[in-house]
Amino acid sequence: IYRTLLEESKPEIEFLVNAAGFGLFGTFSEMDLDKQLDIVSLNANALTAFCHISIPYMPQGSHIINLASNSSWQPVPYINVYGASKAYVMSFSRALGVELKSRKIHVMAVAPGWIKTEFFDTAIHDDTIRYFDRYYTAEQVIVKAMKDLRKNKAVSILGLPVQMQVLAIKFL
């Protein structure tokens, strides 16, 4: 339906922000399979589809912002499908950015730490994960992402603790 709407209206898309997503905390083998597949469907498949159907309507100077996660950088037990889906978002975004560079369309992945949003209302259903060391607000993520967007960065990471964690993971 979205492709048809785009074909009919032929919009000029200057910004595409893919920020929808959800995850579940728990042991993979004990959680509902359909819910796990829904995570992949929204976090990876829908994001991929929206990029694909939007790019033909994006002029030079346009931007794609995809919400990845600090979970993008390493395997994350007890939230593994979410982490794997966000690793996909990170890898896809960085590769797509290279492909679209010649068209002067900038792609940036945003990889924050814990953000105080409704995410936790859905994700937490037991006490499997308890290490919420630092929360950021959605506003903090947006301000940092917009600063990094102006610098044409491929990845936006909010907060020195998160940046240090990413650096340590790369080093290891």
Return the amino acid letter for 24: L
**59 CB-near residues (< 8 Å, 6+ apart):** 12, 14
Q: How many CB atoms lie within 10 A of CB 162?
A: 19
Cα distances (angstroms) measured from residue 136 to each of 77, 95, 159: 22, 27, 9
Q: Which of 81, 103, 101, 91 is nearest to 155 (CA)?
A: 91
Query: C-alpha 133: how far from its chain's center?
Result: 20
82 is a catalytic site residue: yes
Residue ranges of alpha helices (H) inside the chain are 2-9, 33-40, 47-54, 80-100, 119-123, 138-150, 160-171
Distance CA 88, CA 170 (A): 17
Q: Which of 2, 57, 82, 136 is catalytic?
A: 82
DSSP 8-state secondary structure symbol assigned to residue 55: G
Q: Residue 119 has which token pair?
A: 């995410």
Residues catalogued as catalytic? 82
